[in-house]
């Protein structure tokens, strides 16, 4: 009776976790020590369906040499496994109850008697034999590269704190106060897809690099990750953007909801949701492919977007413009939102990113803070020769901004701001805190979000810049855009 009740609980948990997944795949085995052969088998199994279930054989099974709890922990640590559990009975009995679409066994079992076959074929499932493909990239390392923050690569300059009269304890207190903020984000949504590959060599037909994909990971990017960062740091967040009627939009909606972001999408049938694919091998990006449209949204859609944002402003402390120049923020809409924020007393900040597209951060007038790169600042003021301090002042005047950060990549951050208790503008600089970044694409978003939230809770510009730089250092220590958390920042501040 106890075992039957346990099996029923396993079925219930799998049903809850696999809700909405069409093809469940089942694998079972001893998994004494998880090694590359196991990872190849499990990757093959995961590729055969939508949700991978792994049964770890009981200690009474033949050839088991490691206690069940340790073996189960090792399998659960593998990112592609949807659910792992201790399998007390025979696999074929469990298969009859679960009815997975696919059951996978190692290639070495193909010529042997397989009692699972009768069970699988009884309901129309498929039994496959494979030991996976030889990989020269570790799936476990890829998983850690995507998720883990390497605090050892982060160095925090002490001189800046001493120069501006604050300490790490002050910054910890600031992070703790983020939870009282209500943040609204408006801007272009991007879905980022990272496709990790094994490099196979050069084609014999033409000078082309040949790779084979081994893992795909999706992330919410653009203004969406700005909203997710704000939510992860503790704020109540509303996000407004434009999407297509497609699968990336559905993914983004579900993902933002899981981050606690209240997202409102305006659907534009004339464009797809912006999707950016990065093909990577050996920790480097080989190729980027962008699926997007860059035309401005129609007047009707701009009106819908403005009405949604305006309703949110009555409960907003901070509004963040996150502009990627893909058409979500036409100038007329920006001006109406700025006017409404001014009327409601809402603090505003802005970033306008320019890489393959053109943009002008100075079109966001009256911001408390703007955070362009040096290239974006020079593009806005059409000045390719002046020094950085002159450039920052030119941009501040043109944009009528209160304060300016110019991000300098590996050279760090230039801060151009009003001196405390004075109308005089002064300039200071912070070095890049992370000496070994893995993926710099999310640095600006995390800097903007964290620094502007610090300003919104009353921090001065120097504390805000330092805290934003720590956020950026944490973000670039992993691959892909995953939301920052208040806990991560506090850990780094105390490290």
Cα 261 to Cα 86, 235, 422, distances in angstroms = 35, 9, 38
CA distance 153 to 319: 32
List all residues 6 or more positions away from 272 whose beta carbon is below 8 Å from its beta carbon: 244, 246, 248, 291, 292, 293
Structure tokens at 245: 């009627």
- The string of pLDDT tens digits covering residues 243-277 is 999 999 999 999 999 999 999 999 999 999 999 99
- The string of pLDDT tens digits covering residues 65-78 is 888 988 898 899 88
Backbone angles phi, psi at 274, to 5 degrees: -60, 120
The DSSP code for 264 is E
- The string of pLDDT tens digits covering residues 463-492 is 999 999 999 999 888 777 789 999 999 998
CA distance 244 to 270: 7
CA distance 240 to 274: 15
Complete domains list, the chain, with CATH? 2-134 (3.40.50.620), 141-494 (3.40.1190.20)
Residue 423 has a pLDDT of: 81
Structure tokens at 184: 């609204």
Pairing assessment for the beta strands 425-430 and 413-418 based on DSSP bridges? antiparallel
Between residues 233 and 201, the one the model is more confident about: 233
Nearest of 433, 440, 442, 441 to residue 467 by alpha carbon? 433
DSSP 355-385: SSS---GGGSTT-SEE--BHHHHHHHHT-SS
CA distance 408 to 374: 6
The residue-averaged pLDDT of 33-40 equals 75
CA distance 292 to 365: 27
- The string of pLDDT tens digits covering residues 311-354 is 999 999 999 999 999 999 999 999 999 999 999 999 999 999 88
Residue 331 has a pLDDT of: 97
Residue 154 pLDDT exceeds 70: yes
Report the predicted TM-score, pTM, of the whole model to 2 decimal places: 0.72
What length does the chain have? 495
Mean pLDDT over the full length of the chain: 89
Residue 132 has a pLDDT of: 67
Confidence of residue 138 (pLDDT cuts 50, 70, 90): very low
The three-class DSSP label of residue 488 is: helix
Residue 36 has a pLDDT of: 64
- The string of pLDDT tens digits covering residues 176-221 is 999 999 999 999 999 999 998 988 888 878 888 888 888 888 999 9
Residue 218 has a pLDDT of: 92
């Amino acid at each position: 009776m106890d075992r039957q009740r346990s099996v029923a609980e396993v079925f219930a948990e799998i049903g809850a976790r696999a809700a909405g997944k069409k093809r469940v795949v089942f694998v079972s085995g001893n998994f004494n020590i998880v090694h590359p052969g196991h990872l190849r088998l499990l990757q093959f199994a995961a590729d055969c369906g939508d949700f991978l279930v792994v049964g770890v054989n009981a200690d009474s099974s033949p050839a088991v040499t490691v206690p069940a709890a340790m073996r189960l922990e090792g399998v659960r640590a593998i990112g592609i496994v949807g659910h792992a559990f201790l399998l007390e009975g025979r696999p074929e009995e469990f298969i009859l109850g679960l009815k997975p679409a696919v059951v996978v066994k190692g290639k070495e079992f193909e010529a042997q008697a397989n009692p699972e076959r009768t069970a699988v074929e009884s309901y129309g499932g498929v039994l496959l034999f494979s030991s996976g493909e030889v990989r020269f990239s570790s799936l476990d390392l890829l998983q850690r590269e995507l998720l883990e923050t390497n605090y050892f690569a982060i160095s925090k300059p002490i001189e800046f704190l001493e120069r501006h009269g604050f300490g790490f304890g002050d910054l910890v207190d600031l992070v703790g106060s983020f939870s009282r903020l209500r943040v609204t984000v408006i801007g272009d949504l991007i879905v980022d897809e990272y496709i990790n590959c094994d490099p196979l060599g050069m084609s014999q037909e033409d000078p082309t690099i040949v790779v084979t994909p081994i893992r795909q990971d999706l992330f919410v990017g653009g203004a969406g990750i700005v909203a997710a960062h704000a939510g992860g740091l503790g704020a109540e967040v509303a996000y407004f953007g434009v999407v297509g009627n497609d699968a990336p939009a559905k993914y983004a909606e579900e993902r933002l909801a899981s981050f606690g972001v209240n997202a409102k999408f305006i659907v534009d049938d004339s464009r797809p949701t912006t999707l950016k694919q990065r093909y990577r091998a050996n920790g480097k990006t080989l190729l980027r492919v962008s699926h997007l449209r860059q035309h401005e949204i129609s007047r009707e859609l701009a009106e819908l977007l403005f009405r949604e944002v305006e309703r949110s402003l009555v409960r907003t402390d901070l509004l963040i413009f996150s502009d990627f120049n893909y058409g979500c923020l036409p100038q007329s809409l920006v001006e109406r939102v700025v006017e409404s924020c001014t009327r409601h007393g809402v603090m505003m900040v802005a970033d306008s990113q320019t890489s393959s597209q053109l943009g002008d951060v100075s079109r966001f007038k009256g911001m408390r803070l703007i955070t362009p790169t040096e290239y974006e600042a020079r593009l806005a003021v059409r000045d390719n020769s002046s020094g950085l301090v002159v450039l920052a002042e030119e941009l501040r005047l043109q944009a009528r901004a209160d304060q300016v950060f110019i991000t300098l990549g590996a050279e760090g951050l230039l801060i151009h701001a009003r001196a405390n208790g004075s109308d005089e503008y002064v300039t200071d600089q912070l070095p890049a805190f992370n000496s070994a970044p893995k993926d710099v694409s999310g640095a600006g978003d995390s800097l903007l979000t964290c620094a502007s939230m610090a300003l919104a809770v009353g921090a001065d510009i120097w504390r805000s810049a330092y805290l934003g730089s720590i956020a950026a250092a944490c973000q670039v220590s992993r691959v892909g855009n995953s939301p920052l958390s208040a806990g991560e920042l506090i850990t780094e501040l105390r490290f």
